[in-house]
Amino acid sequence: MDIYIARQPIFSRDMSIFGYELLHRGSSNNYYEHQDHSGATAELVQNSFVFLDFDDLTDGTRGFINFTQDLLEAGIPNILPKEKIVVEILETVEATDAIIEVCQRLKQEGYILALDDLIFDRSDCDYTPLIELADIVKIEYPTTDKTKQRELINKYRNRITFLAEKVETREEFKEAAEFGYDLFQGYFFCKPVMMKSKGIASLNIHLIEILKELQKSEPSFFKISETIEKDLGITYKLLRMANSIFYGAKSEITSLQQAIVRLGIQEMKRWISILLIKDYENEENSELIKLCLLRGKLLSLMGHEMKSDMPETDFFFTGVLSSIDIIMDQDMETILTDLPLSDNVKQALLGEQTKLRECLDITLLYERLEFDEAMAKLAKMGIDLRRFTEIYIEGLEWQRTTGWQSGD
């Protein structure tokens, strides 16, 4: 069976992840072209709970799932675990007596209800009963009248959690928070942010030295071990990482030399590139860093799929370091002068239209839910959207099982 799923993060005020909106997409016959929202949701539910690990898709948080009028009336939300989902009521749903009764029953059973894309001054029906039943109300923040937003939030702020959709800039995030929004959905975390910068000089010199040694044709495990020993933090993380990967082995890994040999050159390269960006992790960019790790895995899987003769680590580096300029709030070109990376990786990160860059662009299109353009680019590489979605899911599973979760 073909499975197509994407997700979009939903943040709390402190930039922690509250949940993910799960979205179904088809191949060239995208469901939404035919407005079959019920069919899309039905297949999304089946894919998420029957064929995939729902916790992988949501990182153990909640999944926001869109429900249409007929699916609500048919009682479909009731078959799903209330502790894992948010029942998102589409704006096309009418506040009929039957729908109000369904929502009242869901509330009594402990489900969280969210109204999607709230439309002010509806002329087709009185939406007030649904608003008063909702736990969460989603509003397209940039395009909706600000006065009406403020009035609604002031009226219901003690009873309803408001979610600002399509927040694209840091300024919009701050303004929406001041309005009284507690949840936020959009790509502002992928945009440049003016914040206290550690400065380019604070890139961990020990990590750079290790990476330089690893890039040699015959790296010295002794030199790598010697460098790691100079940094207690790296020593601890390496041993933790090695024991995480080889969990279940006959004996615990207790020495640096043993850990390095067990991991090998390629895994060490990946590990060092991850540490480079995680050195800069904070509450504002933790989701972006997770996304970069996912990109790294996706690109390495794409390289394998294309049977590329380019080193797999070049694909991984390109994905993992794709937003290091935003994470460090520094110019990409300046950052790359200090990093011992191949020309292929540097060219891709600087935007040159190489095969490596094309792979990165596809992952970015998929993140932004721009599937038509992503499919067109994938087709040129000989990969269809079905296969890419399988790769995407494999990447999510890898991210959850490597021990590289946010805050580690």
Average pLDDT score, the chain: 83
Query: What size, in residues, is the chain?
Result: 408
Fold of 200-401: Hypothetical protein af1432 (1.10.3210)
Closest CA to 120 of 134, 96, 138: 138
pLDDT of 24 above 60: yes
Mean pLDDT of 363-379: 86
Distance, CA of 140 to CA of 123 (rounded, Å)? 19
**Identity of the residue numbered 13:** R
Average the pLDDT over each of 85-94, 338-347, 398-407 and give the range with the smallest value.
398-407
For 35-83, what is each residue's pLDDT tens digit? 466 666 676 776 666 556 777 788 889 999 989 899 999 998 998 999 9
Q: Are 152 and 130 in contact (CB under 8 A)?
A: no
pLDDT of 372 above 90: no
Share of the chain above pLDDT 70, in %: 84
Q: Residue 72: what pLDDT?
A: 93
3-state secondary structure 34-79: HCCHHHHHHHHHHHHHHHCCHHHHHCCCEEEEEECHHHHHCCHHHH
pTM assigned to the model: 0.76
Closest CA to 145 of 119, 112, 168, 124: 119
CA dihedral sign of residues 201, 268, 321, 340:
positive
Confidence class for position 198, pLDDT limits 50, 70, 90: very low
Distance, CA of 133 to CA of 100 (rounded, Å)? 8
CA angle 67, 69, 105 (to 5 degrees): 80
The residue assigned the tokens 């209330």 is 82
**Inter-helix orientation angle 286-305/355-367, to 10°:** 130
The 10 Å CB-count burial string (b at 16+, else e) for 321-347 is bbbbbbbbbbebeebbeebebbebbbb
Average the pLDDT over each of 138-142, 184-188, 278-282, 331-335 and give the range with the smallest value.
278-282
pLDDT of 249 above 60: no
Fold of 5-190: TIM Barrel (3.20.20)
The domain segmentation of the chain, as residue ranges, is 5-190, 200-401
19, β-bridge pairs: 10, 62
**Identity of the residue numbered 10:** I
